Structure 1
Amino acid sequence: MTAKFYHAADAVPHRVDAIEMDEAPREGARVATLGQTITLSIEGLKDFFFADWRRDLIDLLVIAAAVEYCDLSVRRPAWGWARSFDLLVAVHDEEKWSSPPVRSALEEALAFLTGDRWTVSFTTRRDPVVKITPRRLELDTPDKVIMPYSDGLDSRAVAAIVEDQEKGGLVRVRLGSKGVDSTKVPRKKRRFAIVPFDVRLGKRQRVESSARSRGFKFAVITGIAAQLAPVDRIVVTESGQGALGPILVSSGQSYPDYRVHPAFTRRIERLFQALTDKAPTYEYPRIWNTKGETLALASALATPPTWHDTRSCWQDSRRVSFDGERRQCGVCAACMLRRMSIHRAGIEEPASRYIWENLGAAELEDGAVAGFSGMSPAFRDYALAGILHLDHLAALSGSELHQRTVRRVARETAEALGMEMAEGESALTGLLERHRAEWLDFLTSLGNRSFVARVARVSPWH
């Protein structure tokens, strides 16, 4: 399935020009001015371009920023999903970007990821981005593997596993986080620590929350890091529920979420091949494992990671603070998967890490820490969605009704990973069986009176 045919897009494309200041925009275009709306971080560029100065990669960063601007500033239609974009971007090498192989690979990757229609064209920059002075870095170990690193549970667990297997050479690319180990690494040895661009949109301008373009942003950043390190391998840290769950159990009219799926990163590989003649390979070592299994494996290492300062929660910190301390909500889909996985791995975690300390409470309201005053209908919706997402994913195991969906995702994933269809179907079936067992064990641990267990029992498969 390609996004171009998933939903009918808006009849009239949204015209957006990411151009330099004082350049005349096209008629009817919304302007994202380079240097104002879209800015490059000098510090971030120093962290990335520590050896070579590559204008083609600078252009790719600007394109990623322009795509983010489009995605966040245009609301999806009330009916259907897809929007249509006509994007113009000022680049250093208009001829290269306009070549059919590069332009086609770019538009296909964007359409597949976001579910929108994309037409991207280019114009030549008048003022090239000024070359920064590269940062001198003292590197002790040859680079082997790039890893997108958010410092969450999966990132920390898989980083520890890969470090143990490779015996060094892991390069972490921070995705919106400095990373827990950044203070331990001298500044002169740190790379890829800051996202090197910023898109400035006011609160009223940010009208769309689905933010599928984040997948493009992070894939581009890790791909650029692989070009500059240079290494050929990028390890994606996501476990099975995170990579495949949003596609197996998509909600409502939403287009499936492919942000960390190999079918998307294969398209990113093709983009880099067309643009630079050198493509990294994205690897998925934990895609057929549950998050709980990944945590258990990392915890069993001779030097296991610590987990107490990781976060999984989707909620804004202002909504989940209590008594001056930032917590996690404990009931959104991300928190629910975290708590189930920690239970599976046998990791001890204080209930005080969460606003909802007690998932065994009979009523949702009774499970929150005493004195919490921020309860709202939105929290109830998040809790219901979180419970039902994990429950519906468990319901796929052995379900004849959902067999077609499971086979489709198995086929798509196996093809992207270069596996036989039968092997992919067997691997996905096993993953779903183990997820189901972990979910039921977690529900049992909460007790029959738990509001979590009661919501889950509403599902017809129980």
Structure 2
Amino acid sequence: MNDDELPAIQVDVHEEGGRARAGRIPCEIGSNLIFKTHNLAAYFFAKWEPVVFDLMLLAASVEFCDRVRRRPALGWGRAFELRLPVHDPDVWNQKNVSDTLHDALELLTGDQWKVTFIKRRKPALEPAQELFYLDTGAEAVIPFSDGLDSRAVGALMAEEYGSRLVRVRLGSKKKDHPKDSFGRKQPFMTLPYQVKPGASHFIESTARSRGFKFAVLSGSAAYFAKAGKVIVPESGQGALGPTLVPVGQAYEDYRNHPRFMKYMTAFFKALLGCDIAFVFPRLWFTKGETLKAYMALSGGKNVEWSKTRSCWQDNRHVSVNNHRRQCGICAACMLRRLSVHAADLEEPADTYVWENLSAPTFDAGVAKGFDKKTRAQKQYAIAGTLHLDHLAYLKQSRAAERPLNLAAFQLARALGESEAAIRIKLDRLLSQHEKEWKTYMNSLGPQSFVVQWADNDQSA
């Protein structure tokens, strides 16, 4: 698609007191992109490096761009022109830095990007040095959040790395800012910036730029901790499923894919001169297998997994009698419910707004007292169900042979393995997902509205 066929979005990031050029969307540092001194200190605990601050400013600016204008109703892509002030534009305007940055952003978001850099009028304020404690000899960093994969893989990797594993908090909840056993503050435990829309609201929810934010923050932590690895906690269905079977008419989702992370490795090398590898220890396992392995660490007694969240919907849409739940029917919730079943675990019905997936109709499955059903929720539910169903039967489709071969080719290049070896692993993952999905569908019974959706689609 040519530039003039895509909706153009021009954004000027500027310092406090500055102005955007005529016709550009203004994005002000301090108002739209907010950096808190203490939060920055949690990253720059060893020394101040302006280029890494500029990298975080870039990640925040990309998020602002991604969310400020809606994607077109027909098609997907947008054409962004983003200008932002940095401490040393010569560093950012190097060809290998610019090329690797644009490669990563365009693969990730499915948009066209033109990012330019100008000189800051005055340097950013350095955070005051605070005492944060980091064990020496760090080998890997892992992001943690409220998610199920994050909790499970964090525990599995702690078994392997022990004190050589550094955790990075990608959320902002204070209760999740852990200290070590001596009560000492740990670095990387606060989100260093906040992105706000200004007078209006953010209106685009696809949030593909979240993958760039993840890579920048975890990669920056690896850089400061002198660790060579970032562990991506996603299991196989979540990492590869969205590119093998895109949901609806959406562009392939590369947020947790090795191909995108390979591009980020090249970008970090060009910008910072360091080698940071993004590794996927659970790439060839289902989420259910990962959860089962996690439970085995405690002999099946761990209950922390049940406190995690998979649903992306906010309180306004998933509260029942003023208590926040998970929706239970989006793609993320459906994968969670499938995985909990595959791991031979159970959750209380009131974990979800849609308590009963065995109900004969979508409306009959919802919790009593929930009065916020929308057409969009049903569309999310159908899309999530069919995504997992299509993934389960992918190997049986003749039309899927070429996409599977392409996926194996891309993964082989990203992971440095042979296509033949990758295809064996991919086939095993898909077979395991198919087995888990069929077993779960059988458990819901033939009258289930979920089973009916899947059956009707297969016979269509």
Measured against the shorter chain, the TM-score band is over 0.9
Preserved CA contact (<8 Å) 1:144 1:231: yes
The residue number in structure 1 matching 2:254 is: 258
Residue 448 (structure 1) aligned with residue 443 (structure 2): no
Question: Match of 2:443, as an amino acid?
Answer: S
Question: Match of 2:263, as an amino acid?
Answer: R
Preserved CA contact (<8 Å) 1:21 1:33: yes
Residue 249 (structure 1) aligned with residue 245 (structure 2): yes
The residue number in structure 2 matching 1:439 is: 437
Alignment partners' CA distance in 2, 1:28 and 1:323 = 46
Q: CA deviation at 1:121?
A: 1.2
Preserved CA contact (<8 Å) 2:168 2:189: yes
Q: TM-score, normalised by structure 1?
A: 0.94
Alignment partners' CA distance in 1, 2:382 and 2:85 = 45
Preserved CA contact (<8 Å) 1:156 1:305: no
Question: Match of 1:57, as an amino acid?
Answer: V
State the Cα deviation string for residues 111-158 of structure 1 (Å, max 9, x = none).
111111111111111111111112212345642210121231100110
Preserved CA contact (<8 Å) 2:178 2:186: no
Preserved CA contact (<8 Å) 1:150 1:177: no
Q: The residue matched to 1:424 in structure 2 has which SS?
A: helix
Q: The residue matched to 1:340 in structure 2 has which SS?
A: helix
Q: The residue matched to 1:48 in structure 2 has which SS?
A: coil
1:148 paired residue among 143, 148, 155: 143
Cα gap change, 1:203 to 1:436, in 2 (>3 Å): farther
Cα gap change, 1:333 to 1:397, in 2 (>3 Å): same
Residue 66 (structure 1) aligned with residue 64 (structure 2): no
State the Cα deviation string for residues 425-462 of structure 1 (Å, max 9, x = none).
11111111110110000011111111111111112269
Alignment partners' CA distance in 2, 1:366 and 1:296 = 31
Alignment partners' CA distance in 2, 1:291 and 1:81 = 29
Preserved CA contact (<8 Å) 2:39 2:193: yes
The residue number in structure 1 matching 2:24 is: 29
Question: Match of 1:171, as an amino acid?
Answer: V
Preserved CA contact (<8 Å) 1:240 1:290: yes
Cα gap change, 1:449 to 1:11, in 2 (>3 Å): closer
Alignment partners' CA distance in 2, 1:91 and 1:315 = 35
Cα gap change, 1:177 to 1:239, in 2 (>3 Å): farther
Alignment partners' CA distance in 2, 1:356 and 1:454 = 16
2:124 paired residue among 105, 122, 129: 129
Alignment partners' CA distance in 1, 2:134 and 2:303 = 23
Q: The residue matched to 1:111 in structure 2 has which SS?
A: helix
For structure 1, list consecutive stretches of 5 or more residues without a partner in the other structure.
none
Cα gap change, 1:43 to 1:461, in 2 (>3 Å): farther
Alignment partners' CA distance in 2, 1:56 and 1:202 = 26
Preserved CA contact (<8 Å) 2:258 2:414: yes
Preserved CA contact (<8 Å) 2:71 2:204: yes
Q: CA deviation at 1:229?
A: 1.1
Question: Match of 2:340, as an amino acid?
Answer: I
Q: The residue matched to 1:401 in structure 2 has which SS?
A: helix
The residue number in structure 2 matching 1:55 is: 50
Cα gap change, 1:202 to 1:385, in 2 (>3 Å): farther
Alignment partners' CA distance in 2, 1:440 and 1:11 = 41
Preserved CA contact (<8 Å) 2:11 2:83: yes
Q: CA deviation at 1:13?
A: 4.1
2:33 paired residue among 7, 16, 38: 38
Alignment partners' CA distance in 2, 1:247 and 1:279 = 26
**What is the identity percentage for the equivalent residue pairs of Structure 1 and Structure 2?**
44
Aligned residues between the structures = 457
Alignment partners' CA distance in 2, 1:338 and 1:24 = 46
The residue number in structure 1 matching 2:202 is: 206
The residue number in structure 1 matching 2:409 is: 411
State the Cα deviation string for residues 138-184 of structure 1 (Å, max 9, x = none).
34564221012123110011011111112332211111244876356
Q: CA deviation at 1:43?
A: 2.1
Cα gap change, 1:107 to 1:354, in 2 (>3 Å): same
Alignment partners' CA distance in 2, 1:187 and 1:381 = 47
- Structure 1 stretch 150-159 or stretch 140-149: which is displaced more? 140-149
Q: The residue matched to 2:457 in structure 1 has which SS?
A: coil
Alignment partners' CA distance in 2, 1:100 and 1:192 = 30
Q: TM-score, normalised by structure 2?
A: 0.94
Alignment partners' CA distance in 2, 1:179 and 1:360 = 38
